Structure 1
Amino acid sequence: MRGITHLTLGLLSAAGIVALRPDLTGYSLTGMAVAGLASLAPDLDEPGARLGRDISFDPKYFRYALVAAAVAIGLWGWYRLDISRPARTQALLAALTLGVIAAALAGKTGRRVMVAVTGGLIMIAALWLQLFWLALLGAFVIIAPFLKHRTYTHTGGAVVLWGYICYGAARTLRDDGIFWLGAWGYLSHLVGDSLTKSGIPWLLPILNHRFALPLMSTGSRRGNFLEGLICAGVGVGTAALWVARFRGALR
Protein backbone atom coordinates (compact mmCIF):
# COMPACT_ATOMS: atom_id res chain seq x y z
CA MET A 1 0.00 0.00 0.00
CA ARG A 2 1.01 3.60 -0.51
CA GLY A 3 2.13 5.73 2.41
CA ILE A 4 -0.88 8.03 2.23
CA THR A 5 -3.18 5.00 2.46
CA HIS A 6 -1.35 3.64 5.49
CA LEU A 7 -1.58 7.03 7.17
CA THR A 8 -5.28 7.37 6.40
CA LEU A 9 -6.12 3.88 7.64
CA GLY A 10 -4.02 4.34 10.77
CA LEU A 11 -5.76 7.59 11.70
CA LEU A 12 -9.28 6.42 10.83
CA SER A 13 -8.98 3.15 12.71
CA ALA A 14 -7.41 4.93 15.69
CA ALA A 15 -10.39 7.30 15.73
CA GLY A 16 -12.61 4.23 15.80
CA ILE A 17 -10.77 2.91 18.85
CA VAL A 18 -11.30 6.24 20.62
CA ALA A 19 -15.02 5.90 19.90
CA LEU A 20 -15.00 2.44 21.49
CA ARG A 21 -12.91 3.57 24.45
CA PRO A 22 -14.45 6.70 26.01
CA ASP A 23 -11.68 6.76 28.62
CA LEU A 24 -9.20 7.60 25.84
CA THR A 25 -11.03 10.71 24.70
CA GLY A 26 -8.91 13.04 26.79
CA TYR A 27 -5.79 11.66 25.13
CA SER A 28 -7.08 11.45 21.57
CA LEU A 29 -4.88 14.19 20.08
CA THR A 30 -1.59 12.78 21.38
CA GLY A 31 -2.64 9.23 20.67
CA MET A 32 -3.81 10.08 17.16
CA ALA A 33 -0.48 11.75 16.40
CA VAL A 34 1.37 8.64 17.58
CA ALA A 35 -1.00 6.44 15.56
CA GLY A 36 -0.15 8.42 12.43
CA LEU A 37 3.57 8.06 13.10
CA ALA A 38 3.22 4.35 13.85
CA SER A 39 1.21 3.71 10.68
CA LEU A 40 4.23 4.81 8.63
CA ALA A 41 7.02 3.38 10.82
CA PRO A 42 7.26 -0.11 9.24
CA ASP A 43 8.33 1.47 5.94
CA LEU A 44 11.48 2.97 7.44
CA ASP A 45 13.08 -0.03 5.73
CA GLU A 46 12.38 1.74 2.43
CA PRO A 47 14.66 4.82 2.12
CA GLY A 48 12.31 6.67 -0.21
CA ALA A 49 9.25 6.19 2.00
CA ARG A 50 7.36 9.16 3.40
CA LEU A 51 8.43 8.92 7.06
CA GLY A 52 12.09 8.37 6.20
CA ARG A 53 12.11 11.61 4.19
CA ASP A 54 10.25 13.55 6.87
CA ILE A 55 12.48 12.67 9.84
CA SER A 56 15.87 13.07 8.17
CA PHE A 57 17.94 15.72 6.43
CA ASP A 58 18.29 15.63 2.66
CA PRO A 59 21.55 13.69 2.12
CA LYS A 60 22.57 15.85 -0.84
CA TYR A 61 23.41 18.76 1.46
CA PHE A 62 25.59 16.51 3.60
CA ARG A 63 27.31 15.29 0.44
CA TYR A 64 27.87 18.88 -0.71
CA ALA A 65 29.49 19.65 2.64
CA LEU A 66 31.78 16.61 2.33
CA VAL A 67 32.79 17.57 -1.21
CA ALA A 68 33.51 21.15 -0.13
CA ALA A 69 35.62 19.90 2.77
CA ALA A 70 37.48 17.50 0.47
CA VAL A 71 38.26 20.27 -2.02
CA ALA A 72 39.39 22.65 0.72
CA ILE A 73 41.67 20.08 2.36
CA GLY A 74 43.02 18.95 -1.00
CA LEU A 75 43.86 22.50 -2.13
CA TRP A 76 45.41 23.27 1.24
CA GLY A 77 47.59 20.16 1.08
CA TRP A 78 48.59 20.74 -2.54
CA TYR A 79 49.45 24.43 -2.46
CA ARG A 80 50.78 24.79 1.07
CA LEU A 81 54.55 25.05 0.60
CA ASP A 82 55.69 25.07 4.21
CA ILE A 83 54.44 21.62 5.21
CA SER A 84 56.35 18.36 5.00
CA ARG A 85 55.76 15.74 2.34
CA PRO A 86 54.10 13.30 4.82
CA ALA A 87 51.71 16.05 5.98
CA ARG A 88 50.86 16.89 2.38
CA THR A 89 50.24 13.21 1.64
CA GLN A 90 47.98 12.89 4.67
CA ALA A 91 45.98 15.95 3.62
CA LEU A 92 45.48 14.59 0.11
CA LEU A 93 44.48 11.17 1.47
CA ALA A 94 41.97 12.83 3.81
CA ALA A 95 40.51 14.77 0.88
CA LEU A 96 40.28 11.58 -1.18
CA THR A 97 38.58 9.74 1.71
CA LEU A 98 35.96 12.46 2.10
CA GLY A 99 35.34 12.39 -1.64
CA VAL A 100 34.83 8.61 -1.60
CA ILE A 101 32.41 8.90 1.33
CA ALA A 102 30.46 11.61 -0.51
CA ALA A 103 30.21 9.37 -3.58
CA ALA A 104 29.11 6.41 -1.45
CA LEU A 105 26.26 8.44 0.03
CA ALA A 106 24.62 8.95 -3.35
CA GLY A 107 21.10 7.62 -3.89
CA LYS A 108 19.38 5.41 -1.34
CA THR A 109 22.52 4.87 0.70
CA GLY A 110 22.60 8.53 1.64
CA ARG A 111 18.96 8.47 2.74
CA ARG A 112 19.59 5.36 4.84
CA VAL A 113 22.52 7.03 6.57
CA MET A 114 20.53 10.21 7.24
CA VAL A 115 17.65 8.25 8.78
CA ALA A 116 20.16 6.34 10.91
CA VAL A 117 21.66 9.66 12.03
CA THR A 118 18.19 10.66 13.23
CA GLY A 119 18.05 7.40 15.16
CA GLY A 120 21.42 8.19 16.68
CA LEU A 121 20.13 11.56 17.88
CA ILE A 122 17.15 9.78 19.45
CA MET A 123 19.58 7.41 21.19
CA ILE A 124 21.55 10.35 22.59
CA ALA A 125 18.33 11.87 23.91
CA ALA A 126 17.40 8.50 25.45
CA LEU A 127 20.73 8.26 27.27
CA TRP A 128 20.39 11.83 28.50
CA LEU A 129 16.82 11.29 29.73
CA GLN A 130 17.49 7.68 30.82
CA LEU A 131 14.45 6.32 29.00
CA PHE A 132 14.75 2.72 27.84
CA TRP A 133 11.75 2.86 25.52
CA LEU A 134 13.23 5.90 23.76
CA ALA A 135 16.52 4.01 23.33
CA LEU A 136 14.58 1.16 21.69
CA LEU A 137 12.94 3.66 19.36
CA GLY A 138 16.36 5.06 18.45
CA ALA A 139 17.70 1.56 17.78
CA PHE A 140 14.67 0.83 15.58
CA VAL A 141 15.26 3.98 13.52
CA ILE A 142 18.99 3.19 13.19
CA ILE A 143 18.56 -0.43 12.10
CA ALA A 144 15.37 -0.32 10.00
CA PRO A 145 16.81 1.59 6.98
CA PHE A 146 19.39 -1.15 6.40
CA LEU A 147 16.89 -4.02 6.38
CA LYS A 148 15.36 -5.46 3.25
CA HIS A 149 11.94 -3.98 2.53
CA ARG A 150 9.00 -5.85 4.04
CA THR A 151 11.06 -8.15 6.21
CA TYR A 152 11.75 -7.67 9.92
CA THR A 153 9.83 -4.41 10.32
CA HIS A 154 6.77 -6.17 8.89
CA THR A 155 6.48 -9.01 11.41
CA GLY A 156 4.50 -9.86 14.50
CA GLY A 157 7.67 -9.39 16.52
CA ALA A 158 7.95 -5.81 15.27
CA VAL A 159 4.37 -5.17 16.43
CA VAL A 160 5.31 -6.43 19.90
CA LEU A 161 8.44 -4.25 19.95
CA TRP A 162 6.53 -1.17 18.83
CA GLY A 163 3.82 -1.92 21.36
CA TYR A 164 6.44 -2.02 24.11
CA ILE A 165 7.88 1.30 22.92
CA CYS A 166 4.40 2.85 23.00
CA TYR A 167 3.74 1.31 26.41
CA GLY A 168 6.91 2.90 27.77
CA ALA A 169 5.98 6.25 26.25
CA ALA A 170 2.47 5.97 27.70
CA ARG A 171 3.85 5.37 31.19
CA THR A 172 6.35 8.21 30.92
CA LEU A 173 3.75 10.68 29.65
CA ARG A 174 0.88 9.18 31.68
CA ASP A 175 -1.20 8.85 28.55
CA ASP A 176 -2.83 5.45 27.89
CA GLY A 177 -3.92 6.58 24.46
CA ILE A 178 -0.31 6.47 23.24
CA PHE A 179 -0.13 2.73 23.87
CA TRP A 180 -3.48 1.70 22.42
CA LEU A 181 -3.46 3.97 19.40
CA GLY A 182 0.27 3.71 18.70
CA ALA A 183 0.24 -0.09 18.76
CA TRP A 184 -2.84 -0.20 16.55
CA GLY A 185 -1.35 2.28 14.10
CA TYR A 186 1.62 -0.04 13.54
CA LEU A 187 -0.61 -3.11 13.31
CA SER A 188 -2.88 -1.40 10.77
CA HIS A 189 0.10 -0.97 8.43
CA LEU A 190 0.84 -4.68 8.50
CA VAL A 191 -2.80 -5.61 7.99
CA GLY A 192 -2.91 -3.30 4.98
CA ASP A 193 0.23 -4.77 3.42
CA SER A 194 -1.20 -8.26 3.94
CA LEU A 195 -3.87 -7.34 1.40
CA THR A 196 -1.29 -6.91 -1.37
CA LYS A 197 0.08 -9.62 -3.63
CA SER A 198 3.56 -9.36 -2.07
CA GLY A 199 2.23 -10.02 1.44
CA ILE A 200 4.40 -9.85 4.55
CA PRO A 201 6.35 -12.43 6.62
CA TRP A 202 4.34 -12.20 9.86
CA LEU A 203 6.31 -15.00 11.56
CA LEU A 204 9.85 -14.13 10.44
CA PRO A 205 12.43 -15.35 11.55
CA ILE A 206 10.54 -18.43 12.79
CA LEU A 207 8.88 -19.00 9.43
CA ASN A 208 10.02 -17.32 6.23
CA HIS A 209 6.63 -17.35 4.56
CA ARG A 210 4.70 -14.37 3.26
CA PHE A 211 1.07 -14.27 4.27
CA ALA A 212 -1.18 -12.45 1.83
CA LEU A 213 -4.76 -11.93 0.80
CA PRO A 214 -3.75 -10.82 -2.72
CA LEU A 215 -6.35 -8.22 -3.54
CA MET A 216 -4.08 -5.65 -5.16
CA SER A 217 -0.64 -4.59 -6.35
CA THR A 218 0.78 -1.41 -4.85
CA GLY A 219 0.87 1.44 -7.37
CA SER A 220 -1.39 -0.15 -9.96
CA ARG A 221 -4.59 1.57 -11.08
CA ARG A 222 -6.70 -1.21 -9.62
CA GLY A 223 -4.64 -1.15 -6.44
CA ASN A 224 -5.11 2.59 -6.01
CA PHE A 225 -8.85 2.21 -6.54
CA LEU A 226 -9.12 -0.58 -3.96
CA GLU A 227 -7.03 1.39 -1.48
CA GLY A 228 -9.44 4.30 -1.80
CA LEU A 229 -12.39 1.93 -1.42
CA ILE A 230 -10.91 0.39 1.74
CA CYS A 231 -10.23 3.83 3.23
CA ALA A 232 -13.81 4.86 2.46
CA GLY A 233 -15.14 1.71 4.11
CA VAL A 234 -13.05 2.21 7.24
CA GLY A 235 -14.10 5.86 7.30
CA VAL A 236 -17.79 4.93 7.16
CA GLY A 237 -17.29 2.35 9.91
CA THR A 238 -15.50 4.88 12.11
CA ALA A 239 -18.22 7.47 11.53
CA ALA A 240 -20.85 4.88 12.47
CA LEU A 241 -19.04 4.16 15.74
CA TRP A 242 -18.99 7.84 16.63
CA VAL A 243 -22.67 8.27 15.78
CA ALA A 244 -23.49 5.27 17.97
CA ARG A 245 -21.41 6.70 20.77
CA PHE A 246 -23.07 10.11 20.69
CA ARG A 247 -26.47 8.40 20.70
CA GLY A 248 -25.46 6.49 23.81
CA ALA A 249 -25.24 3.06 22.20
CA LEU A 250 -21.55 2.81 23.12
CA ARG A 251 -20.68 3.28 26.76
Structure 2
Amino acid sequence: MKGTTHLAIGVAIGVTAAISHPFSAQHAAIYIAVAACSALSADLDGTNMLSGKLSGIARMIRELLLWGGLILTGILGYIYVMKGMLYTEWSIGAVAMSLLGFVSRSGVIRNALVSAIGSALLYGGIAGGMGWLMGLGVYVAWVPWLNHRGLTHTVWATAAWGSIGWGLEQQVHVDGVASVAVWGYVSHLVADTLTPSGVKWLYPLSKKTFKLPIGKL
Protein backbone atom coordinates (compact mmCIF):
# COMPACT_ATOMS: atom_id res chain seq x y z
CA MET A 1 0.00 0.00 0.00
CA LYS A 2 1.18 3.52 -0.80
CA GLY A 3 2.81 5.57 1.93
CA THR A 4 0.35 8.40 1.34
CA THR A 5 -2.52 6.04 2.12
CA HIS A 6 -0.86 4.86 5.34
CA LEU A 7 -0.22 8.49 6.27
CA ALA A 8 -3.84 9.49 5.63
CA ILE A 9 -5.09 6.63 7.81
CA GLY A 10 -2.65 7.59 10.57
CA VAL A 11 -3.72 11.23 10.47
CA ALA A 12 -7.38 10.14 10.64
CA ILE A 13 -6.60 8.08 13.76
CA GLY A 14 -4.84 11.05 15.32
CA VAL A 15 -7.75 13.39 14.56
CA THR A 16 -10.19 10.87 16.02
CA ALA A 17 -8.12 10.68 19.20
CA ALA A 18 -7.99 14.46 19.44
CA ILE A 19 -11.77 14.68 19.13
CA SER A 20 -12.47 11.87 21.61
CA HIS A 21 -10.19 13.29 24.35
CA PRO A 22 -10.39 16.65 26.12
CA PHE A 23 -9.25 18.98 23.37
CA SER A 24 -6.18 21.19 23.33
CA ALA A 25 -4.10 22.20 20.33
CA GLN A 26 -0.96 20.75 21.91
CA HIS A 27 -2.55 17.38 22.64
CA ALA A 28 -4.11 17.24 19.17
CA ALA A 29 -0.69 17.85 17.59
CA ILE A 30 0.80 15.03 19.69
CA TYR A 31 -1.97 12.58 18.78
CA ILE A 32 -1.70 13.33 15.06
CA ALA A 33 2.11 13.22 15.02
CA VAL A 34 2.25 9.94 16.96
CA ALA A 35 -0.45 8.28 14.85
CA ALA A 36 1.09 9.43 11.57
CA CYS A 37 4.59 8.24 12.49
CA SER A 38 3.19 4.96 13.83
CA ALA A 39 1.29 4.34 10.61
CA LEU A 40 4.49 4.78 8.58
CA SER A 41 7.13 3.25 10.86
CA ALA A 42 6.57 -0.39 9.91
CA ASP A 43 7.94 0.38 6.45
CA LEU A 44 11.32 1.53 7.75
CA ASP A 45 12.41 -1.93 6.62
CA GLY A 46 12.37 -0.49 3.10
CA THR A 47 12.04 2.85 1.34
CA ASN A 48 9.07 4.77 2.67
CA MET A 49 8.00 8.33 3.32
CA LEU A 50 10.12 8.51 6.47
CA SER A 51 13.34 7.31 4.86
CA GLY A 52 12.72 8.02 1.18
CA LYS A 53 14.33 11.47 1.29
CA LEU A 54 17.58 9.83 2.37
CA SER A 55 17.76 7.89 -0.89
CA GLY A 56 18.90 10.98 -2.77
CA ILE A 57 21.56 11.68 -0.14
CA ALA A 58 22.66 8.03 -0.31
CA ARG A 59 23.09 8.24 -4.08
CA MET A 60 25.09 11.45 -3.72
CA ILE A 61 27.38 9.85 -1.11
CA ARG A 62 27.94 6.86 -3.38
CA GLU A 63 28.83 9.12 -6.31
CA LEU A 64 31.20 11.16 -4.13
CA LEU A 65 32.94 8.01 -2.93
CA LEU A 66 33.28 6.61 -6.43
CA TRP A 67 34.36 9.71 -8.33
CA GLY A 68 36.24 11.26 -5.45
CA GLY A 69 38.28 8.08 -5.08
CA LEU A 70 38.94 7.84 -8.83
CA ILE A 71 39.97 11.48 -9.12
CA LEU A 72 42.24 11.25 -6.09
CA THR A 73 43.76 8.04 -7.46
CA GLY A 74 44.43 9.79 -10.76
CA ILE A 75 46.09 12.76 -9.05
CA LEU A 76 48.29 10.52 -6.91
CA GLY A 77 49.20 8.43 -9.96
CA TYR A 78 50.19 11.56 -11.86
CA ILE A 79 52.38 12.73 -8.98
CA TYR A 80 54.08 9.34 -8.83
CA VAL A 81 54.73 9.20 -12.57
CA MET A 82 55.95 12.78 -12.87
CA LYS A 83 57.83 13.18 -9.58
CA GLY A 84 58.38 9.65 -8.34
CA MET A 85 56.63 10.46 -5.06
CA LEU A 86 54.29 7.87 -3.57
CA TYR A 87 51.91 8.86 -0.77
CA THR A 88 51.08 5.42 0.59
CA GLU A 89 48.37 6.37 3.09
CA TRP A 90 46.59 8.64 0.62
CA SER A 91 46.85 6.00 -2.10
CA ILE A 92 45.29 3.34 0.12
CA GLY A 93 42.52 5.74 1.07
CA ALA A 94 41.83 6.68 -2.56
CA VAL A 95 41.63 3.07 -3.69
CA ALA A 96 39.41 2.20 -0.72
CA MET A 97 37.04 5.07 -1.58
CA SER A 98 36.82 3.95 -5.20
CA LEU A 99 36.16 0.33 -4.29
CA LEU A 100 33.54 1.33 -1.72
CA GLY A 101 31.81 3.44 -4.33
CA PHE A 102 31.87 0.55 -6.81
CA VAL A 103 30.57 -2.17 -4.48
CA SER A 104 28.17 -0.25 -2.25
CA ARG A 105 24.55 0.19 -3.20
CA SER A 106 22.52 3.31 -2.53
CA GLY A 107 20.10 1.22 -0.47
CA VAL A 108 22.86 0.09 1.87
CA ILE A 109 24.04 3.66 2.36
CA ARG A 110 20.45 4.79 2.96
CA ASN A 111 20.03 2.07 5.59
CA ALA A 112 23.26 3.18 7.22
CA LEU A 113 21.97 6.77 7.36
CA VAL A 114 18.71 5.62 8.96
CA SER A 115 20.69 3.55 11.46
CA ALA A 116 22.81 6.59 12.25
CA ILE A 117 19.65 8.53 13.06
CA GLY A 118 18.50 5.65 15.26
CA SER A 119 21.85 5.64 17.04
CA ALA A 120 21.51 9.37 17.68
CA LEU A 121 18.04 8.80 19.15
CA LEU A 122 19.43 5.99 21.31
CA TYR A 123 22.19 8.25 22.58
CA GLY A 124 19.67 11.00 23.30
CA GLY A 125 17.52 8.54 25.23
CA ILE A 126 20.48 7.34 27.28
CA ALA A 127 21.67 10.89 27.96
CA GLY A 128 18.19 12.05 28.94
CA GLY A 129 17.18 8.91 30.80
CA MET A 130 14.20 8.38 28.50
CA GLY A 131 13.47 4.70 28.02
CA TRP A 132 10.94 5.24 25.23
CA LEU A 133 13.49 7.22 23.20
CA MET A 134 16.08 4.48 23.70
CA GLY A 135 13.55 1.95 22.43
CA LEU A 136 12.75 4.14 19.44
CA GLY A 137 16.45 4.51 18.71
CA VAL A 138 16.98 0.75 18.76
CA TYR A 139 13.96 0.26 16.49
CA VAL A 140 15.08 2.87 13.95
CA ALA A 141 18.68 1.64 13.94
CA TRP A 142 17.76 -2.02 13.54
CA VAL A 143 14.78 -2.37 11.23
CA PRO A 144 16.26 -0.94 7.99
CA TRP A 145 18.30 -4.14 7.69
CA LEU A 146 15.31 -6.48 7.97
CA ASN A 147 13.45 -8.02 5.05
CA HIS A 148 10.53 -5.93 3.87
CA ARG A 149 7.19 -6.98 5.39
CA GLY A 150 9.04 -9.31 7.72
CA LEU A 151 9.46 -8.84 11.43
CA THR A 152 8.22 -5.24 11.45
CA HIS A 153 4.85 -6.41 10.14
CA THR A 154 4.00 -8.67 13.09
CA VAL A 155 2.10 -8.64 16.35
CA TRP A 156 5.45 -8.72 18.17
CA ALA A 157 6.58 -5.50 16.53
CA THR A 158 3.19 -3.98 17.36
CA ALA A 159 3.69 -4.85 21.03
CA ALA A 160 7.20 -3.39 21.00
CA TRP A 161 5.93 -0.20 19.36
CA GLY A 162 3.15 -0.02 21.92
CA SER A 163 5.71 -0.11 24.74
CA ILE A 164 7.51 2.81 23.11
CA GLY A 165 4.22 4.67 22.93
CA TRP A 166 3.48 3.88 26.57
CA GLY A 167 6.85 5.29 27.59
CA LEU A 168 6.15 8.45 25.59
CA GLU A 169 2.74 8.75 27.26
CA GLN A 170 4.40 8.67 30.69
CA GLN A 171 6.87 11.31 29.50
CA VAL A 172 4.37 13.82 28.09
CA HIS A 173 1.48 12.97 30.47
CA VAL A 174 -1.09 12.85 27.68
CA ASP A 175 -3.68 10.10 28.07
CA GLY A 176 -4.19 7.87 25.07
CA VAL A 177 -0.79 8.32 23.39
CA ALA A 178 0.07 4.63 23.78
CA SER A 179 -3.29 3.58 22.31
CA VAL A 180 -2.86 5.98 19.40
CA ALA A 181 0.61 4.55 18.73
CA VAL A 182 -0.74 0.99 18.72
CA TRP A 183 -3.73 1.81 16.53
CA GLY A 184 -1.51 3.70 14.11
CA TYR A 185 0.86 0.74 13.83
CA VAL A 186 -1.96 -1.79 13.55
CA SER A 187 -3.58 0.29 10.82
CA HIS A 188 -0.48 -0.22 8.70
CA LEU A 189 -0.57 -3.99 9.11
CA VAL A 190 -4.31 -4.17 8.44
CA ALA A 191 -3.98 -2.00 5.34
CA ASP A 192 -1.16 -4.19 4.01
CA THR A 193 -3.26 -7.27 4.74
CA LEU A 194 -5.74 -5.92 2.20
CA THR A 195 -3.10 -6.05 -0.57
CA PRO A 196 -2.19 -9.09 -2.71
CA SER A 197 1.16 -9.52 -0.91
CA GLY A 198 -0.47 -9.71 2.52
CA VAL A 199 1.26 -9.77 5.90
CA LYS A 200 2.89 -12.52 7.97
CA TRP A 201 1.39 -11.40 11.28
CA LEU A 202 2.95 -14.23 13.32
CA TYR A 203 6.40 -14.35 11.70
CA PRO A 204 8.82 -15.98 12.56
CA LEU A 205 6.65 -18.46 14.51
CA SER A 206 4.57 -18.92 11.39
CA LYS A 207 5.28 -17.98 7.80
CA LYS A 208 1.59 -18.03 6.89
CA THR A 209 0.64 -14.95 4.94
CA PHE A 210 -2.68 -13.34 5.84
CA LYS A 211 -4.28 -11.41 3.01
CA LEU A 212 -7.66 -10.16 1.95
CA PRO A 213 -6.78 -8.38 -1.29
CA ILE A 214 -9.28 -5.80 -2.43
CA GLY A 215 -7.22 -4.51 -5.35
CA LYS A 216 -4.08 -2.50 -5.88
CA LEU A 217 -3.77 0.04 -3.09
Q: Which amino acid aligns with 1:161?
A: A
Conserved in 2, the CA contact under 8 Å of 1:159 and 1:183?
yes
Tell me which of the two structures has the higher relative contact order, counting C-alpha pairs closer than 8 angstroms and 6 or more residues apart. Answer: 1
Encode CA deviations 1:174-218: one digit per residue, 9 max, x unaligned.
Answer: 2234322222111110111111121111111221211111222xx
Distance in 2 of aligned mates of 1:89 and 1:55 = 34
The answer on whether the counterparts of 2:15 and 2:31 sit within 8 Å (CA) in structure 1 is no
For 1:66 and 1:107, how far apart are their aligned partners in 2? 11
Please provide the CA RMSD for this pair.
2.4
Matched, 1:51 2:50: yes
Code of the aligned partner of 1:63: R
Partner letter of residue 175 of structure 1?
A: V
Q: Counterpart of 1:12 in structure 2: which amino acid?
A: A
Cα distance 1:213–1:169, how it changes in 2: closer, same or farther (>3 A)? same
Please name the residue that 1:202 is paired with: 201
Determine the structure 2 residue equivalent to 1:155.
154
Q: Residue 181 of structure 1 corresponds to which residue in structure 2? A: 180
* Counterpart check, 1:40 vs 2:40: yes
TM-score by length of 2: 0.85
Change (3 A) 1:65 1:112: same
- Cα 1:14/1:136, change in 2 over 3 Å: same
Q: Does 1:13 align with 2:13?
A: yes
AA aligned to 1:31 is Y
CA distance 1:62–1:127, change in 2 (3 Å):
farther
Q: How many residues align?
A: 212
Q: 5+ residue gaps in structure 2?
A: none
Question: Where does residue 119 of structure 2 map in the other structure?
Answer: 120
My pick for the range that moved more, 37-46 or 60-69, is 60-69
In 2, Cα distance between equivalents of 1:177 and 1:203: 26
CA 1:135–1:188 in 2, change beyond 3 Å: closer, same or farther?
Answer: same
Q: CA deviation at 1:156?
A: 0.4
**Alignment correspondent of 1:28:** 28
Q: Percent identity?
A: 28
Structure 1's 54 and 91: CA in aligned 2 closer, same or farther, altered over 3 A? closer
Whole-Å separation in 1 of the counterparts to 2:110 and 2:11: 26
- Residue range with higher mean Cα deviation, 171-180 or 197-206: 171-180
1:91 maps to: 90
Q: Structure 1 residues 45, 181: CA separation in 2 closer, same or farther (over 3 Å shift)?
A: same
Q: Distance in 2 between matches of 1:41 and 1:101?
A: 29
Q: How far apart are residue 64 of structure 1 and its match?
A: 4.0
